[in-house]
Amino acid sequence: MAATIIDSRIFRNMFSTEAMRHVWSDENRTAKYIDVERALALVQGRLGIIPQEAADEIVRNCDIEKFDLEKLRVQTERIGYPIIGVVSQLNALCRDRLGEYCHWGATTQDITDTATVLQIRESLALIDADLAAIADALAKLANTYRDTPVAGRSNLQQAIPVTFGYKMATILAAVLRHRERLAQLKPRVLVGEFGGACGTLASIEKGAMETQAGLMTELGLGQPLIAWHTVRDTIAEVGAFLGLVGGTLGKISMDVKLMMQTEVAEVFEPYAHGRGSSSTMPQKRNPISSLYIHAAASTVRQHAAALMDAMIADHERSTGPWEIEWIVLPEAFCLTAGALNQTRFVVEGLEVDPAKMRANIDITNGLVMSEAVMMGLGASMGRERAHDVVYDLCREAIRVNRPLLDLLAENKEISSHLDRAALAKLLDPTNYLGQAGTMVDRVLARHAGR
């Protein structure tokens, strides 16, 4: 029986993905514990720290299919941690008491932390793949609509025209930065743990550092400079990264929701029969993916804060903050995966209406171009005087509901500097897109690796 959104039979694929749930499942987590124990025995047998016969027997039995997870549940509830139960079952699987050599010199947290890092590595690979796909989709939109005017909005009011390609490229640039962050954090985060009781490896008389180095090589992880049992900045960094990714996905969802409003109707989430329909209002086409993105991203940010709380740990082995990570790290990854999946669906199939974008610019009767007119008049009238005159004419255009062009052309002070044709050119949105196209091209070049 599932009680959480992530594992719900109804909601699970709306808030997460099967692949990410597998990474953080009991089965995969336990398999990672076993992988670490296997690698430890392999390395210690090679170094002669434990008998080779014991190492071979331990390695032979390090198979998740041989372990009883129900028994492990009972053991964990009794003991408080799962590692002793894993070691106990592994020991029992080995012949002639050779299993007594498993977990040699390790402590519970060594195995748990290293397994968690292995799960993080798998999770980050999934996230990077989704970020890459989203970047490709955004690049396609940015290229297709490079020169398509759309109202730029400030405080939810039309400001000046931009292009829809520019709008997509600003988000693409953020996604590219997230991929850079991911690559940069890996050397810091993908580092294992093997320090023994208080991190000093005192329980291994000879070959301690060689064991640590060999273990990390075997697992494909970095070797720690020193134990990090209660110094948890790397795990918190992962949470902060997920929070940043979620923030960008939330930005996408917010803009899509606003642009799907009936009065705006510039873009729409991909259509499927019945998707977004109302139980009582047949005409409605509600945003759906954007709602789930927003909810998931907001929750992940709270989890990022919780992981920072978990950094405040006591002494060399802590009394509780560690378990905060057990609660929120899997959910943060699972919700991020869900938000990425929903975002990918949206941007890969986004419906764009350039005609409505232009129509929305035109509803202001030219007011959205007032800055262009002010700047066009600034050289001859002075910027401040031009601002004041245009400001007053904008207010008048609103009051009498007339096109701004008419009032500008009728104004004697303005007409002495610019005729109606020149003013009409200033009021053309396609003539006031600034360097939007150049900026789009720069982002697309970065995406292409040029």
Q: What's the rounded Cα separation, in Å, for the pair 130 and 344? A: 7
Q: Which among 290, 287, 256 has a CA at the least distance from the CA of 271?
A: 287
Q: How far apart are the first and last CA of the chain?
A: 51
Q: Tell me the two tokens of residue 72.
A: 């492990």
| SS3 sequence of 6-37 | CCCCCCHHHHCCHHHHHHCCHHHHHHHHHHHH
Q: Is 261 exposed, middle or buried (0-12, 13-18, 19+ CB in 10 A)?
A: exposed
Question: Left if phi > 0, otherwise alpha if psi is -120 to 50, otherwise beta: which for 199?
Answer: left
Q: Tell me the two tokens of residue 373.
A: 């007119």
Q: Tell me the two tokens of residue 305.
A: 């804060």
Helix, strand and coil percent figures for the chain, each rounded to 5: 65, 5, 30
Q: What's the rounded Cα separation, in Å, for the pair 255 and 208? A: 55
| Lookup result for tokens 């292995």 | 118
Q: Is 278 a catalytic residue?
A: yes
Of the residues 278, 383, 416, 420, only one is catalytic, namely: 278
Q: Which among 22, 192, 53 has a CA at the least distance from the CA of 109?
A: 192
For residues 148 and 165, is the Cβ–Cβ distance under 8 A? Answer: yes
For residues 172 and 131, is the Cβ–Cβ distance under 8 A? Answer: no
Of the residues 317, 358, 402, 446, only one is catalytic, namely: 317
Q: Is 442 a catalytic residue?
A: no
For residues 253 and 300, is the Cβ–Cβ distance under 8 A? Answer: no
How many other C-beta atoms are found inside a 10 Å radius of the C-beta of residue 77?
10
Q: Is 10 exposed, middle or buried (0-12, 13-18, 19+ CB in 10 A)?
A: exposed
Q: What's the rounded Cα separation, in Å, for the pair 348 and 270? A: 8
CA distances from residue 120 to 22, 36, 108 in whole angstroms, order as listed: 12, 14, 18
List residues with catalytic annotation. Answer: 278, 317
